[in-house]
Structures are given as C-alpha cells and as structure tokens.
Structure 1
C-alpha cells in the first residue's frame, strides 16, 4: 500500500511539472536578464546571426542568452514550474475575486501582467488530475468480487469460445445470431482492453460481464454504460484517461451556450466568450482541486461550502466582463448555471461514448 501511495505521489508530481512546462510553452515569455547563472552573453543571435539589441532576437525570437550549464538548465526548469514568470501571482487573485476585470483586461490587450487563459487552463487541468491521483483512495477491494487481470483474461477467453460455439450451432440450425454476434463483439473488445492493461497489474471486477438490463437511446452511450456496469474499474480508468485527454473540448462545448446570453450582439464576439469560458473553467478547476485537498485532509465540509461559489463567481465575471447591470448579470448567471450543467452533461456523454468505442 505504501508503494502505491509513493507511486501515486510521484506520478502526481510528474503531472504537475508536465503541466507547468506545457503551459510555459504557450505562455509568452517576459524578457531575460544577464548574470552569472550559466547563460552565455552573445552580441549576435546564435540561431540566425542577427545583431542583438535586446533580451530576444528581433528577427527569429530566440532568447539572446542561452544556457550551457547543468545548473542553469535546472534553474530554468524550476523557474518554469514554480514561477510562471511571476504572472501567476498577479493572475490568481484577480481570477478568484475580480474575474470580470481579468477577462476584460485580457480581451482588451492588456496581457503582459497575466497568465493567458489557455496556459492557465492547461496547468489547472494537469494539476487537478495530479491531485486526484495523489488523493484517491487505495483501499483494498473485496477479493470475493475481484480477481487479477491474468485470471479475468482466461475466463473471458473461455466464455468467448463458448459464445462462438453457440453461434456456430445456431447458424447451423438457421436460427438468428444477431444477439450472439453483439455479445461476441462486446466480449472481444473487453478482452483486448484487459490484455492492454495486463502488464500494469490492475485489478478489475468481472462479476457481471454481461451488463444486462442497461439501456439508453444512444447506442454508443448504451455500450459504454454496459461496459461500466460489467467492469467498473476498467471503465473508470478509461473515463479518467479520456477526460484528461479531451478536457479542452469543454471550451468549444461551452462557448455556444455563452453566446446564447448575448445573441447577435455587435459589442461582444466569440473571441470574448472564449476568453470568458476559459478563465471560468480555470477557476472551477481550481475549486475542484481545493475540494479534493480538503477532502483528503478530512474537511469534507469545505466542498459543501464551495458548492455555492460558482454562481457568485459567474455573476461577478459576467458583470465585470460585459459591463452588465445587476439585474442583467443575475438573470444571465442563473441561465449560465443551467448552461454549464448542460455543457458538462454533453462532455460526459462524449467521454462515455469514447469509453464504449
């Protein structure tokens, strides 16, 4: 158990570092400085040879001084992970308390002091999943209901062989085989997924591989629900993976809903709405992180309190970004809460459909 915990913390730290570096890659860098930090001091750009007149080459954009020491390399790494060029400490307070001002400043072009919305979103998502993996429960499962992947693969292979034999017998008698074909297809896909995870030593529930009695009006979702019921651990693993990979899809899903609050407006455009949505998602992601950390610390009541924060935050962001009256911000906030729930539902359906594909 201790090994699992240490491994989870290690993976989480790796995710945080990866998220910071990914965000750093899309965040404009602010000027550099000279000093004895392992950086070279050139008069011409090492990339294109242009004479240098500032901290960056005005021809190709490369930094004027490049590092050539191991100490300087790790200095840059730590600077990128923990400082975000200092912008994050100016961005987060505004995001929390004056989100409308932050959004409007960025839209109007006053950006040098703040983390861009997409960079902050990337880092927030990385951080959220890192915290999730660090705080998730590693309790032992009931061994009467769970068996190792190696055993489950063998059992599914036996069941698959029996299904194929039944199908051959039914076909020989001229009986319909559509139901058996569907079961064979589902079992074949599940077998392939388990074989992919076998090397990881994951433990999965195979007590109800049939998944009978579960139906929906969306075929792909129906398949995903059946797989979730048949194999909750594997489905949960895939759900987390796809949610992590496609978290960016929440932005294009949410923007049309926000547009509906200002239909055919000539003052506000899709770009404005996209910046609004991205900063809003950043804040909501940070709320989830705080909730998870509080839960891990035994303060689950914090999550119940924070549940009421999103509508208030939406109100302040709407009013500050779009210059609305109190009444205009209130009714739009009420609609935005419902729109947000709809966007999350659409995202969940898409992710569940992916897990069933």
Structure 2
C-alpha cells in the first residue's frame, strides 16, 4: 500500500481547519491542500489567535534569516555565482535582489546620516553673511573677504594701468594693441549696463518683472535672480505674496524659479540639513540609475544569451555587495576612528572583475577591456545622476 502524505500538522494548519475553497481568491481546494495553489495563502478557516500570529511572524523571520545568510555567503564568497543560480531558477534559497539592494541602501543611508557631522554646517550662519544689497550677491561680510575685494580691485587697476602704458608705446609694433581701448570700452559698458539693470530692479521691481514676463520665452536666469533678491530683501514667503506685491503671473517659469530661489536660500541657511536630505534620496536615484547603466552592460555582452533582466539582476547583486562593503567601512571607521573606505573600494574593484569573469565566462583580456569601459560609463552616469540629484534637491528642498 502506497504511503499517504502526512496531512496532520499543528495549530491552524490542522486537518479539521481545512476548507474546500480559498478564502482569499475563492479557488477550489482539496482537503489535502495545505496552501492554495493559486495564491499561496494557507488553507485554514481557523480564526487567528495571538499565538498563531506570533508563530507565523517568527517562522517568516527565521525563513528570511536563512535566505539572508545564504545570500550574504554567496555574495561575499562566490562572485557571480548567485546571479547564475538566480537566473537559472534557483531563487527560493536567496532574497529578492531588488528588495535586498534597497534594504542595504536604506541601512547605509541611516548609518551615514547618523554618524556624520553634516548637521554642524547649519551653525555656520551662511544666510546672515549673504549681502542683501544686490541680486545674487554671494559676497560675505567678513574681514578677509573685504581684504580680498580690496586686493582684487588694486590688482585690476594695476593691470589696466599697464595696458594703458603698453598702448602708449606706439613705436613697438604689438599686434592687437590698438584694440585695448576698444576692449576697455566694452568692459566698461558691460559693467555700466549691469549696474543700471540692478538699479532698475531695486528701484522698480514690479516694472522690472513685467519686462521679463513680456519676453514670453526664456528668462529663467533673470527670473531666478529677481526672486532670489527679493526673497532676501523683502522676506516674502509664498508665491501668492510675490503675485500680489510684484505682479508675478502664474506661469510655470515664475513658479519654478520662485521655488528654486526659495529652496536655494533655505539650502544656504541649512547646508547640513540639505545635504542629509539629498543623500536620503539615494535609493530613489539607484532605482532609476541602475536600469540605465544596465543598457550598457547589455550592449557590451549583446552576443551572450542573456536577457536585459539577467543583466539587471547582475547589477543589483554587485551594487548590493558595494553597499555591504560601505556599511562595513562605516562600522569600522566608527569603532577604530580610521578611514577605510578606499580599501573597501579596492576590494570591490577586484570583486567586480571576478564577478564579470565568472558570470559571463570570458577571458582575461576581453573582461578587462569591458571592465574598464563599463566602469568609465558608470562613473560618467554616476556623476550625471549626482548632479541631477543635487540640482533637483535645490528645487524641491
């Protein structure tokens, strides 16, 4: 007689609590079904008790810990192997690569923001040092800054005097010397024009903004200069106040430049908070950055029988290892008061090479060439992503 499967289990999974229909998706079930084959919910009609709830919670936790340990071991000891296993269907033993990467990114950011001194930058009082006498004037009212300005002025006058003396040497044929007067005239006219514009802005801001708005196209720099100036000078708080006081229309150009100017002032006043908030958006950047970088991996290995998703999983696993190393670096630096990040970056560089060789199965020369190309593209895209991140943070801070 064939051995029948053991149907008796403890708790809410006992046979007496089995149903003939899934309570979640209404899929028909057999009494032998411990779980619904359609949605994977447990086949149990028993009401949840606190004991059942905690038993299930700790069971899932232990199961996740087991997957986590296997994932960490495979990542640290066998570069490239975990990706091969995952795309070949051996997924139940490992954590989801995308979820795992995001978890590591959040842990790293929490540790980084907790253990840095960026918030001390808020105490510098940069906002109080910005001159409020002119548009976008980033001069600081410090004694050293005044000395620098005086030195620059003296040096400029000295250079202009030298140019005048050279211009008087008519007997020495120096090509282009006759154009010095024209150059000085152009510079002087430019300075006068800029000063006139600034004076007009301060004397009649409503008319100045009206002239900018009449252009219809462009003028983003001028609008941001205008709002930046009067956010400092008149301490307006909202776009509605700018509409009422200066006649600003509700165009998207005015709104985006007003918000950008307001956020810029806030970032200057609280640079530490701004940097921490920007760094906190790193997981979101990774979410958009890695899929774009994976396109280059797919192009480099286009002859390999891997799909775009396979390459993406490879990227997720390698970036996960990078975050693990960065987390270790933060912990070591905090305990031993050292700087170990450079060493861990070197370890990751070697790891990435081994991972590419093992996963894609190509020789040393091909792997090194592709390794250098992909790392160059990664650096370029990372720099571009960081610029976008900090620029976007200025307008949304």
Matched, 1:297 2:332: no
Distance of aligned partners of 1:75 and 1:247 in 2 relative to their CA distance in 1, 3 Å threshold:
farther
Distance of aligned partners of 1:53 and 1:324 in 2 relative to their CA distance in 1, 3 Å threshold:
farther
Distance of aligned partners of 1:54 and 1:280 in 2 relative to their CA distance in 1, 3 Å threshold:
farther
Q: State which of 300, 305, 309 in structure 2 corresponds to 1:271.
A: 309
Contact 1:87 1:113 in 2 (8 A): yes
**Distance (whole Å) between structure 2 residues aligned to residue 136 and residue 342 of structure 1:** 26
Matched, 1:310 2:348: yes
Residue of structure 1 in register with 2:298 after alignment: 259
TM-score, length-scaled by structure 2: 0.59
1:8-51 superposed Cα distances (whole Å, 9 cap, x missing partner)? xxxxxxxxxxxxxxxxxxxxxxxxx9545x77763124333633
Residue of structure 2 in register with 1:109 after alignment: 89
**Distance (whole Å) between structure 2 residues aligned to residue 113 and residue 311 of structure 1:** 27
**Distance (whole Å) between structure 2 residues aligned to residue 98 and residue 335 of structure 1:** 23
**Distance (whole Å) between structure 2 residues aligned to residue 282 and residue 326 of structure 1:** 24
Residue of structure 1 in register with 2:206 after alignment: 168
Contact 1:227 1:235 in 2 (8 A): no
**Distance (whole Å) between structure 2 residues aligned to residue 340 and residue 143 of structure 1:** 36
Distance of aligned partners of 1:112 and 1:172 in 2 relative to their CA distance in 1, 3 Å threshold:
closer
Distance of aligned partners of 1:280 and 1:305 in 2 relative to their CA distance in 1, 3 Å threshold:
same
1:108-147 paired onto structure 2 within 5 Å: 108-137=88-117, 140=120, 143=123, 145=125
Contact 1:258 1:336 in 2 (8 A): yes
Aligned length: 285
Distance of aligned partners of 1:356 and 1:107 in 2 relative to their CA distance in 1, 3 Å threshold:
same
Contact 1:224 1:352 in 2 (8 A): no
1:34-73 superposed Cα distances (whole Å, 9 cap, x missing partner)? 545x777631243336335344211332123577233443
1:206-355 paired onto structure 2 within 5 Å: 230-231=268-269, 232-262=271-301, 264-355=302-393
Matched, 1:53 2:22: no
**Distance (whole Å) between structure 2 residues aligned to residue 104 and residue 228 of structure 1:** 48
**Distance (whole Å) between structure 1 residues aligned to residue 381 and residue 338 of structure 2:** 26
Instruction: Give the gaps of 5 or more residues in structure 2.
Output: 1-7, 131-200, 239-256
**Distance (whole Å) between structure 1 residues aligned to residue 328 and residue 358 of structure 2:** 25
Structure having the higher Rg: 2
**Distance (whole Å) between structure 1 residues aligned to residue 307 and residue 210 of structure 2:** 64
1:154-196 superposed Cα distances (whole Å, 9 cap, x missing partner)? xxxxxxxxx787412646999x996663234457999xxx989
Distance of aligned partners of 1:173 and 1:354 in 2 relative to their CA distance in 1, 3 Å threshold:
closer
Contact 2:121 2:272 in 1 (8 A): no
Distance of aligned partners of 1:243 and 1:223 in 2 relative to their CA distance in 1, 3 Å threshold:
farther
TM-score, length-scaled by structure 1: 0.65
**Distance (whole Å) between structure 2 residues aligned to residue 254 and residue 297 of structure 1:** 35
Matched, 1:63 2:101: no
Residue of structure 2 in register with 1:89 after alignment: 69
Q: State which of 207, 217, 224 in structure 2 corresponds to 1:182.
A: 224
Shift of 1:278: 1.0
Instruction: Give the gaps of 5 or more residues in structure 1.
Output: 1-32, 153-162, 197-218
Shift of 1:118: 1.4
**Larger CA deviation: 327-336 vs 59-68:** 59-68
Distance of aligned partners of 1:111 and 1:73 in 2 relative to their CA distance in 1, 3 Å threshold:
same
Distance of aligned partners of 1:313 and 1:225 in 2 relative to their CA distance in 1, 3 Å threshold:
farther
Residue of structure 2 in register with 1:3 after alignment: none
How much is the aligned-residue C-alpha RMSD, in angstroms?
4.3
